[in-house]
Amino acid sequence: MNGELAVLAEIPRSLKEAVTGSARSLTRIRAAAILLGGTWALMPGTVAAQYTITAENGDTVQFESAALRTMLDTARALWTDLEVDLRVRYMTPAVNRVERVPVAAETPAASYPWNAVQVVDDSLIDVRNLPANLREADRAYYNYAVQRMRVVRGADPDVPCDSVLALEEQVVGSFIDGWILSRTLFGGPAFAPLDELVFARRAGLLRPLLARLNDPQVGACAGIWVDENPERVAAYDAWRREKFPLPGEGEEET
């Protein structure tokens, strides 16, 4: 038995199955993970591992364990802010019981964080209506809620639309990090519309995606940005049709 297989043999069977699943495969089996208090913790001192997210089209994106550890630390810090910030009330499913509704990939609008998280005012944000079938990704929505409220409370009303989109891009980036944790460490299922956010960021197309999807958090700036950046929007449209076509879209072109 070589060194890599020896390391794998020392990991409990249930854990091996968790970290080598198709949606979150460990491409170099030279790391171990342990479950502490219901939270995955990457063991220090182990050789770096790569975790993979695979899109429906077969494209993959990989993440080193160190990057995931940073995302996890950030998510924990943002959750602490959510709990202790006395200036803002966060209405979450855990505290404010609501009947959660599943979201279908064919009609994904309610899964996007800019729709699922509702800013009521600068001291109240509603995070209750999270998708029932994406519970492992709750921390991603909490990431978004805290970061979005920071933008709201520190907003400068006199900024160009590109800056407004840039801020939302950063906030959505925090959601994407949480979604990556869901897909790689917490057993979350694949969901193509949210996987698209991961791959769009990787391709440098997240900002035109937000404008094209008319993210309500940026208001009229979505349409203005589309008009002012036709080449970037066209690049996103072409990329999306190739990588994440809408139902029936490919059939119409054949």
Q: What does the pLDDT look like over 166-189, one tens digit per residue?
A: 999 999 999 999 999 999 999 999
Identity of residue 3? G
Is the confidence at residue 210, as pLDDT, over 60?
yes
203 vs 236: CA distance, rounded Å: 9
Is-contact 78 71, C-beta < 8 A?
A: no
Q: Read off φ and ψ for residue 118, nearest 5 degrees.
A: -110, 115
Query: Three-state DSSP class for 203?
Result: coil
Query: Three-state DSSP class for 170?
Result: helix
Q: pLDDT by residue (tens digit) across 237-247?
A: 999 999 999 87
9 vs 226: CA distance, rounded Å: 53
Query: Three-state DSSP class for 112?
Result: coil
Q: Any idea which of 29-43, 124-138, 183-197 has the lowest mean pLDDT?
A: 29-43
Burial pattern 168-178, b for ≥16 Cβ within 10 A else e, equals bbebbbbbbbb
User: Which residue in the block uniquely carries the two structure tokens 């505290």?
Assistant: 95
Q: Any idea which of 36-45, 92-101, 167-176 has the lowest mean pLDDT?
A: 36-45
Concatenating the DSSP letter of every residue in 1-24 gives --HHHHHHHTS-HHHHHHHTSGGG
Is-contact 217 168, C-beta < 8 A?
A: yes
Is-contact 208 236, C-beta < 8 A?
A: yes
| DSSP label at residue 38 | T
Q: pLDDT by residue (tens digit) across 107-157?
A: 999 999 999 999 999 999 999 999 999 999 999 999 999 999 999 998 787
68 vs 40: CA distance, rounded Å: 11
Is the confidence at residue 253, as pLDDT, over 90?
no
pLDDT of residue 184: 96
Sign of the C-alpha dihedral computed for residues 27, 242, 202 and 137 taken in this order? negative
- pTM, full prediction: 0.81
Who's near 27: CB < 8 A, 6+ residues apart?
49, 50, 51, 52, 62
pLDDT of residue 96: 64
Is-contact 167 134, C-beta < 8 A?
A: no
Mean pLDDT of 96-104: 84
